[in-house]
Amino acid sequence: MKPRELGNLLDARLESARFTDYSPNGLQVEGCAKIRRVVVGVSASQALIDAAAERGADALIVHHGFFWKGENPCLVGYRRQRIATLIAHDINLFAYHLPLDAHPELGNNAQWAKAMGWRVSGRFGRQDMGFWGELPDPCRLDELAARLTATLGRPPLAVGAKDRRVWRIAWCSGGAQGYIEDALALAETMKIDAYLSGEISEQTPHIARENHIAYLACGHHATERFGPQALADWLKTHTGLDCEFIDCPNPA
């Protein structure tokens, strides 16, 4: 498959054209002219790029790529080294940020819900990034935290009383703690008991406590492995490409 063909396929499947994003979606660094082997991961770190090179990958597809708005555009230091490695090994780099959070089937939020057994009832927030729905059954906040720990492989930071009853929740993966304001608006009509995301900011606990909603920070990387994994499986099934998901551990 040619890079442009793979890019067109991914653009169509993830509906990338409908998003206003913080970095370009699609092909970010051009490599070899024919793609047979693909590695998929969360972030285009040096560790993931090196792993793709070791496996002889022709393409690397990530959720967090390069060229973010407001970032220093100079290719020096570690930025230069990452791109130099891609070019030296003729690896095409594709990145899909918000499209891989929001997709109703392959996205991080949809796949997170699937892994946890949550029922999806609707969407909320800017560009419909957030999801809301119900747990399979009501439980205590500390019981929900334990279930998340088992699925994510790390304990969440929970804000709220341990014995608080939780049933209806809202969630948005990664650095979407700011969506708590949108979750609060939703809570007024849908009676949301808790909001879950990847990260937490200093003001988040205050907002949660003052508005009587629980909050769980579950890890940026941990909540954004689901989409890349699902995308790797979909590509392998629908294209016949040799496709592998590689997880480079990240505690953040």
- The domain limits of the chain are 3-98, 103-221
Whether 103-221 and 3-98 are alike in CATH topology: the answer is yes
Give the residue from 165, 167, 148, 164 showing the smallest Cα distance to 156. Answer: 148
3-state secondary structure at position 121: strand
> What is the reported pLDDT for 69?
96
Report the alpha-carbon distance of residue 34 to residue 53 in Å, rounded. Answer: 15
> What is the reported pLDDT for 187?
83
Report the chain's C-alpha Rg in angstroms. 19
> What is the reported pLDDT for 184?
94
3-state secondary structure at position 40: strand
| Homologous superfamily of domain range 3-98 | NIF3 (NGG1p interacting factor 3)-like (3.40.1390.30)
Average pLDDT over the chain, rounded to an integer: 97
Q: CB neighbours of 238 closer than 8 A, spacing ≥ 6?
A: none
Tokens coding 163: 């014995």
pLDDT in tens, 41-62: 999 999 999 999 999 999 999 9
Does the pTM surpass 0.75? The reply is: yes
pLDDT band at 188 (very low <50, low <70, confident <90, very high): confident
Mean pLDDT of 185-198: 92
CB 82 within 8 A of CB 95: no
DSSP state of 174: S
CATH 3.40.1390.30 fits 103-221, yes or no: yes
CB 22 within 8 A of CB 36: no
